[in-house]
Structure 1
């Protein structure tokens, strides 16, 4: 059974690998395979933490993802990791999905694909809906919590998610995977690899995922692809990748505000709602989000000697799309359209477009010997974004082609970093990481004045790793991160950059039957951009600078072998998340609320995986996730409370080895929310000053919620050749 390098809970890896077929290699093949593995690792090594680094992280392999990869997206597949809270708009994990780590939303989670930034440069968010079935092309994932190590791109503030895609395979293969389930959900995947011939290999995947969604009309229809061409020779690896997708999803961004509907009509979706001439409620058929995105990457990895390895990459991402909306009783003059017979009020349909290009280069140079691991790296990236809107229909006439707004956002991001890890003794390892990052942002909008800002950030990190003995390792870490505002922050007037000081203290215990990893973190913020709880007119959260704030917590994760066949994988996070001296205007008076809870930051998050391996090839798992009560705003209003919830999923997988034409057939089953719990995993909270009721303004509060599906299932069959 191969030994698996893993740092944190990640897994049943030492145990689930016994379910995989064991392949024998000749001595020469083993040497070549080892060399190739090292070359593959270099692609992402510059942005990943390593075993001796004093960083809090979790590694996840493709084998761990596979049993539940039946159509749900990456944030849902990773929701059982420590400190992770996932949510979905459609309620069943297909379509728009999101994740938070330690209370940090997706715009603070830096995501890289093979070391290339994935976060949208302006919103800094991550939209996995644009990469349908991307999990089927993943080799491994590393989730770093806290500041972590230096990486490329925006959003590296609360966590980093580093994803490595599949590289070449020495032997040819083919796979056909199909899954079906509740809400008419289905996934179809075809994957292949030619195997390595004359130093060349091709592999690829095409996928289609569709679902009606749990929420009314929250349908999705998505096409995804991944193609990879590899050249491998001794100490050289060249990879060209093209991947992306196209999605069409009916909007489900607005949740439910009406408490009665939340109790009695949990699938209600207000998106596209309007009233006809007779006052009857109707829904617009094309209230949809439509977007396509293509990624191209070229990587060159070279091993110059036993000590020196380099990696260089070029990348280009092109995306374009729009969302369509039916709007009632709009003023045509706001859209620069003529009135009809003197009446400027009309229902209309508008499209709001985003057309963007993102390109650049990354590099790293790594030196290693028995004591030193030194890395120099960096990146230069440019983003060009166009934002424009069109009216395509009014009640009384079809307008000629028009743009009622036409804005842009251009962003250059340049960073250089150096990382060094040095073994002072056999027990002490010292780590240092220095990054200098420059951001140049130009933008205009009808919502804010023209922007022409330059940010210069210095982000140092340092730490020490102490190995007491074979079973016990201790580490300490300190890191600083800085982050620029997003485009939406300029719209809301929150234009100050954020600053984070992150302190981590950890202990790892590793024995034959128990792996325990625990760490204490203290994250100190200045001008943290916290979610107000409110949404803008396109369903995106609004942020505000909160002054001083902090997160103080304890994370514990473990793998416990109760027996050879029964494995326990619990994790828990306990935290305090506070804004200090938070000011808020209530009833026309600015008040000091003192210390308040940071929005969307539960004080307790826990997960567990109980796995039973009764016979070879069969795996049964009970997965549990608890998310404690959280506030959706920063003023500790009772109306902003999102209740705690505990959900349990059941997952079964059986790998039937045939090896006669068909290598194996894998049967998978996933039953989500097996106890049919009614819960909401996300929501929003808003306030406004009512000045019409009298001479004294009155603060009005409201909230909306995103219900998630009750018990539902997915069944899949994969043929491997």
Structure 2
């Protein structure tokens, strides 16, 4: 697909000469129809949910090429993000929301799901530098509103791609360079409206970096393309991207002793590399039947896959003594239909259905015979979901009711050549969930809005959970996978919040209480490839307060930030049916009590922008036993940003970790003497003082 994207992106620049002055009156409706694509899956400021929406201006001010989760880290509460490479532009990045990993967060692009449906995570290193093609990001914390794809459990993140409604052709080129041998090139182009009917956007990016941690380099490219057709009652939008990254791997947690001796150590072989990419194609059509009734239809295809080179164990004896390859392919097909009905200013009804098929192929082969893999298995997941949401506005009140139904079928097909006799049958799992939500908001004044919401959400375990932390289904875990070792997890979420806006002061604050039954959570053990081992926790809770604000005391100075204080507690937990009372009252793994981001921004002249920020987290535990010997220590970082604009040029310099602190971003107990028992904490590291400079040329 990438060759077609290159050709289409080049077309953006060549057809710009055909620009005809647009008839804005004739296409204003179509622009409204374009907005329906995102409105059908998001909540607006009047809906009573806990959310933060980051707009295009905020993205452009902060973005320097990092994974989008690091943008979210900077600009929204209760998030901290990290990468196995130690840098924010390279390696496999991960995000935690309210202490919960991204496998429990729903991610969509224009409402199209981008999670891996089986393992439920997102691999942002597969599509590096996508943020330049994003116009807004909405983060809903808690159960939020019904969305497409994986359950909105810890929360959801919706990316909106760039809008095509620009008045005239424009574009930009970004050239970046920074620490760790990092180089970045990005160019994009908008055609504006052509013949009052068509608009195109294309973007290309190239990134190379050595990475901060030893042999965690990245060599990546990405293409992003969007095209729109504007009719009197129709809008059609094609969105596509193709991206690939070749990465040095650093998933291993390193012991504190090793890091004290050499802070950037990576015990994995320098030849341990992967070569993965992701492609997406979506076609979305909005239609106006009448002023009251509109529809949004979507067809999409998502592919991800590649090769991972490491030691292999063909005999299944845990003796990794041969060099080999782990190919993986995901193919994801889906269709969605949303119907939106608003007979008057009092009612708004949105209902939709979503169906997808997700196919996975896993292989393993030794280097001497890569063409004939010794392990070849497939997995499939199908889901049909339906939701209905109704908003009722009466005077200063807005009431929202939201109901989602999900039916899920998962089939795991073992490799017949490597399975034992009697262990060749497919393993079928199925789930049926009913997830209701409701909220109320009250516009107390033009400045102040209050809200309350409640939501019940159930969610299925991941494929990795079902396999007991393994990546493949074989004779070692067939019986375990065929059993019922994981229950579905459930959360009851209650939120109370307030939004206050004045010309110089904006603040959002909320209280949350989340009660879990059978929460699927990490326990402090590590499986294959650095994956956390999880189990059901019978009863647990998380509660806290979140706030984000911006204050402008004078025209050229702003103070902004976010702050979270939360607590987690295990109420009941059992193992093999036996209660573990000693763990009752303990905190959840990797759930810090405090997460904060604070900043000062100044514009001493019209051309210059200055920023100083601090961010950090408090300590958290690496195991559910809450041993003080296994901690992820707290950290606090100081960062600076300098921007300068001259005519059509903009220079942005970002300096991170000004005080050159050594700190850890993620951790787990590790077994350094290989006796089968953890004997110390292991960590991922964060980069010491580093910088990134980006020159943007607008035309």
Q: Normalising by structure 2, report the TM-score.
A: 0.89
Structure 2: which 5+ runs fail to align?
A: 1-20, 469-479
- Output one character per residue of 1:672-691: Cα deviation in whole Å (capped at 9) or x when no partner: 1111111101111258999x
In 1: Cα distance, 2:260 partner to 2:529 partner: 25
1:430 aligns with 2:407: no
Q: Is residue 55 from structure 1 mapped to residue 25 from structure 2 by the alignment?
A: no
Q: 1:413 aligns with which of 383, 387, 396?
A: 383
Give the Å deviation of 1:545: 0.7
Contact 2:379 2:413 in 1 (8 A): yes
Q: Which residues in structure 2 correspond to 1:276-675 (within 5 Å)?
A: 283=270, 285=271, 287-326=272-311, 333-334=315-316, 347-368=321-342, 369-392=344-367, 398-399=368-369, 401-424=371-394, 426-445=395-414, 450-492=426-468, 494-583=485-574, 592-657=582-647, 664-675=648-659
Distance of 1:400 and 1:254 partners within structure 2: 25
CA distance in 2, matches of 1:209, 1:28: 36
Match of 1:70 in 2: 64
Counterpart Cα distance in 1 of 2:542 and 2:122 = 23
For 2:518 and 2:502, locate their aligned partners in 1 and report how far apart those are by CA, in whole Å: 43
**Secondary structure of the residue that 1:378 maps to in structure 2?**
strand
Superimposed CA distance per residue, residues 379-410 of structure 1 (whole angstroms, 9 cap, x where no aligned partner): 11110111111111xxxxx3474322211110
Render the CA deviation track for 1:505-539: whole Å, top value 9, x for unaligned. 11122222221211110001011111123222222
For residues 458 and 284 of structure 2, what CA distance do their matches in structure 1 show? 28
Match of 2:82 among 83, 87, 97: 87
Contact 2:403 2:435 in 1 (8 A): yes
Tell me how far apart the structure 1 counterparts of residues 619 and 435 of structure 2 sit (CA, whole Å).
33
Q: Identify the residue that residue 176 of structure 1 maps to in structure 2.
A: 173
Other-structure match for 1:254: 252
The residue aligned with 1:14 is none
SS in 1 for 2:125: helix
1-side partners of 2:290 and 2:616: how far apart? 49
Distance 1:569 1:495, change over 3 A: same
SS in 2 for 1:592: helix
Change (3 A) 1:689 1:476: farther
Deviation (angstroms), 1:93: 0.8
In the aligned structure 1, how far is the partner of 2:315 from the partner of 2:666?
36
Structure 1 residues 433-469: Cα deviation after superposition (integer angstroms, max 9, x where no partner):
0111111111134799842111110010001111112
Alpha-carbon distance, 1:655 to partner: 2.8
Give the superposition deviation at 1:225. Answer: 0.5
Q: Secondary structure of 1:639's match?
A: coil
Q: Give yes or no for contact 2:27–2:230 (8 Å, CA) kept in 1.
A: no
Comparing 405-414 with 534-543, greater Cα deviation is found at 534-543
- SS at 1:78 equivalent: helix
**How far is 1:365 from its partner?**
1.1
Q: CA deviation at 1:563?
A: 1.1
CA offset digits 1:524-566 (Å, max 9, x no partner): 1011111123222222222111110110111111111121111
What number of residue pairs does the alignment pair up? Answer: 651
The whole-number CA distance in structure 2 between the counterparts of 1:345 and 1:120 is 30
CA distance in 1, matches of 2:216, 2:295: 46
Maintained 8 Å contact 1:625/1:646: yes
2:136 corresponds to = 140
Q: Distance in 2 between matches of 1:326 and 1:73?
A: 29
Distance change >3 Å, CA 44–CA 666, structure 1 → 2: same
Q: Is this contact kept in 2: 1:628–1:645, CA < 8 A?
A: yes
- Among 701, 706, 712, the residue aligned to 2:684: 706
Unaligned runs of 5+ in 1: 1-26, 273-282, 336-343, 393-397, 658-663, 693-697
Judging changes above 3 Å, is the alpha-carbon distance between structure 1 residues 31 and 652 closer, same or farther for their aligned structure 2 residues? farther
Higher mean Cα deviation, 350-359 or 677-686? 677-686
Write the deviation string for residues 108-159 of structure 1: whole angstroms up to 9, x where unpaired.
Answer: 1100011011100111001111111100110111000000000000142101
Deviation at 1:617, TM superposition (A): 3.7
CA distance in 2, matches of 1:554, 1:465: 18
The one-character-per-residue Cα deviations of 1:481-528 (angstroms, maximum 9, x if unpaired) are 111010110112642111010000111222222212111100010111
CA offset at residue 31 of structure 1? 4.9
Q: Distance in 2 between matches of 1:400 and 1:172?
A: 49
Distance between the aligned counterparts of 2:240 and 2:399, measured in 1?
Answer: 39
In structure 2, the residue matched to 1:4 is none
Question: Could you tell me how far apart the structure 1 residues matched to 2:299 and 2:341 are?
Answer: 22
Shift of 1:322: 1.8
Q: Is the 8 A contact 2:22 2:193 kept in 1?
A: no
How many Å separate the matches in 2 of 1:700 and 1:718?
Answer: 49
SS of the equivalent of 1:44 reads helix
Residue correspondence of structure 1 range 160-175 to structure 2 within 5 A: 160-168=156-164, 169-175=166-172
Change over 3 Å in CA distance of 1:172–1:467 after alignment to 2: same
**Contact 1:46 1:151 (8 Å CA) reproduced:** no
Mapped to 2, the partners of 1:536 and 1:136 lie a distance apart of: 35
1:358 is paired with a residue whose SS is: strand
For the structure 1 residues 32 and 704, does the alpha-carbon distance in structure 2 shift closer, same or farther, using more than 3 Å as the test?
A: farther
Measured in 2, the distance between the counterparts of 1:400 and 1:358 equals 26
Q: Which residue of 1 aligns with 2:266?
A: 269
SS at match of 1:597: coil
Q: 1:209: which partner in 2?
A: 207
Q: CA RMSD in A?
A: 2.4
Query: Are the aligned partners of 1:358 and 1:383 in contact in 2 as well (CA < 8 Å)?
Result: yes
